[in-house]
Amino acid sequence: MSNPSRVNAWPSHTATYSGPATIPPVSRARVEIRVVVGTVRSLVVMVRVPSSRLRGFLLPCVDRPSSFSTPRSEFLQGGQMPVEDEVRAVSAAFDAALLHNDADAIGQFMTDDWVYVGPSGATPRSDILGWIASGRLAHHTMTVIGDERLARVGDAVVYTARKASTGSWDGTPYTAEEWITELYVHVNGRWRCAFSQKTDAT
């Protein structure tokens, strides 16, 4: 893995709600809502928790559907979000966790067998999280460039986007612009990333 420090991103948000927050570890915080769609029963919210320790950390609060019976780009019964929009929200929160450089929070978005594939081959979950926990790998900024694309493949969703990022690896700053591909699967009622792949954009 020639540059393992390249990971993903999402822009910031607006609107205000005051309430408890569980990630990152603060008891209460001013929370900014990005997206609210659906009924009280099927609410999808992306929030940002401002803090001197954070750089726009996003949290998903998603009431997810229990099946994939809805055709692509159509809404589920009861006002729930389309599967693609749910995955888009989870991917955004995953990116924000990466910017927070909290290995425990990042691991919550990955399956146990998650793997990253880059120019040097496959890197397992344990290596990436270990590098982040030690500070060897740090993410500073991430920006989505152009449209995101999501496609359902059976009971999984493939997410693709072009992103620009900055960070550091072994203390050396880096900048990157890449095509990102992520595979999301539904595990124990949650969407989790099972696979990430990056290709340098030209």
- pLDDT computed for residue 146 by the predictor: 81
Q: How far is CA 120 from the centre of its chain?
A: 23
Query: How are beta strands 137-153 and 28-37 bridged, if at all?
Result: unpaired
The residue extents of the domains of the chain are 17-200
Question: Would you say 80 and 160 are in contact if contact means Cβ atoms under 8 Å apart?
Answer: no
The alpha carbons of the chain give a radius of gyration, in whole angstroms, of 16
List, for residues 33-57, the tens digit of each pLDDT value.
333 333 223 333 343 434 333 334 3
- pLDDT computed for residue 133 by the predictor: 98
Regions in the chain scoring below 50 on pLDDT: 1-78
CATH number of 17-200: 3.10.450.50
List, for residues 75-104, the tens digit of each pLDDT value.
344 457 899 999 999 999 999 999 999 999
